[in-house]
């Protein structure tokens, strides 16, 4: 029996419809030689410090930094997650072939590999179903073009490195700052990404708050309806600007050089998720999270490709060819879900 693991139930249902797995069971679907099951995103996570040593449950500076010799995994302590993991574990152990159909990206690879490790099936070879879209034709093509899972080992190593780095910085940093500066149970959360980003926001906010406007002068002249600007820096004293003005007054304007060159402007690339979030915020005032939710919903509706891939493209029978389709789709989705965009 071939077992296919998708990252979400919605994706699993679409794959099951293509491979003919139409019989529903608790936690999976079966048929035509396939068993299609699913995760709920992350079912497995890195252990906490107290899982290695119960004494580390008490936060103390003496125990820092704590870096395990070997990172270990555990199933997320949630009843539905643990129940679904047990289904996957049973299917994996009896499978003739395992297919990874988690999301096409670094995090999707990590989710599958962590589950594979916790089920004790790391020694079993598997194949990778790489889905950039959920249209029936795309799923069928991806099934024909599955690759050995070993070809994605570097992607997994990169994801694991990121996961463990987050753990090291987050666990040790949070405990250190909370013990040192936390009062009355106040948690000082530190993260590999969140803390530098927060620092940049605070720095910029401080610059805005302490900004003191200062008058300045610039030298400009108009010739044949064209404004020419002095190449010198701004003048912060009117007397300096007046001195330079007097030097040139009464002298003719002379064009000393005209340079012409041809340039080729390439068409703009299609959006990746980050650029899409910036555009939606600039044009409609949408938060990054609102754009992400809209993009994910459109992906599951087979209207766009996977939101986290490097370049996203519209999926509308080849009719739409530019990014206005994506922006319009997300705008409509937001309006339909009570997220009225702020038109700027």
> Alpha carbon of 289 to those of 154, 170, 176, 203, 231: distances in Å?
29, 22, 30, 23, 43
Strand partners, 38: 6
User: Cis omega before residue 112 (within 30°)?
Assistant: no
Beta strands in 7-83 (DSSP E): 23-25, 28-31, 34-38, 44-46, 73-75
Residue numbers annotated as active site: 306
The kind and range of the H/E element at 11 are: helix 9-19
Name the token pair of 218. 């610039």
CA R_g for the chain: 29
| Cα-based angle 199, 164, 166 (whole degrees, multiple of 5) | 15
Strands 97-101 and 73-75, bridge-based pairing: unpaired
Are the C-beta atoms of residues 224 and 255 closer than 8 Å to each other? Answer: no
Nearest-angstrom CA–CA distance, 133 and 305: 5
């Amino acid at each position: 029996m071939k077992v296919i693991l998708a990252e979400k139930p919605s994706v699993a249902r679409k794959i099951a419809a293509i491979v003919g797995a139409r019989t529903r069971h608790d936690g999976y679907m079966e048929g035509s030689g396939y068993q299609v099951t699913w995760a709920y995103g992350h079912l497995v996570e890195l252990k906490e410090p107290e899982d290695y040593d119960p004494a580390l449950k008490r936060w103390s500076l003496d125990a820092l930094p704590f870096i395990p010799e070997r990172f270990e995994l555990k199933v997320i302590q949630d009843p539905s997650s643990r129940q679904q993991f047990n289904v996957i574990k049973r299917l994996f152990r009896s499978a003739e072939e395992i297919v990874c159909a988690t999301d096409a990206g670094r995090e999707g690879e990590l989710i599958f590999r962590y589950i594979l490790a916790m089920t004790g099936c790391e020694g079993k070879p598997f194949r990778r179903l790489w889905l950039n879209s959920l249209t029936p034709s795309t799923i069928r093509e991806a099934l024909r073009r599955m690759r050995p899972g070993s070809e994605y080992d570097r992607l997994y190593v990169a994801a694991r490195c990121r996961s463990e780095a987050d753990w090291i910085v987050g666990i040790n940093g949070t405990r250190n700052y909370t013990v040192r500066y936390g009062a009355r149970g106040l948690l000082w959360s530190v993260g590999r990404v969140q803390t530098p980003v927060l620092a940049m926001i605070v720095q910029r906010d401080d610059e805005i708050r302490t900004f003191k406007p200062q008058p300045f002068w610039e030298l400009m002249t108009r010739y044949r309806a064209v404004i020419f600007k002095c190449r010198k820096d701004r003048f912060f004293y009117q007397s300096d600007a007046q001195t330079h003005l007097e030097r040139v007054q009464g002298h003719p304007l002379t064009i000393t050089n005209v340079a012409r060159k041809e340039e080729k402007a390439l068409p703009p690339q299609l959006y990746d998720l980050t650029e899409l979030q910036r555009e939606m915020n600039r044009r409609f005032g949408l938060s990054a999270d609102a754009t992400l939710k809209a993009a994910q919903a459109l992906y599951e509706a087979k209207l766009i490709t996977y939101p986290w891939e490097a370049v996203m493209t519209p999926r509308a029978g080849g009719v739409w060819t530019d990014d206005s389709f994506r922006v319009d789709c997300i705008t409509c989705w937001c309006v339909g879900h009570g997220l009225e965009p702020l038109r700027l």
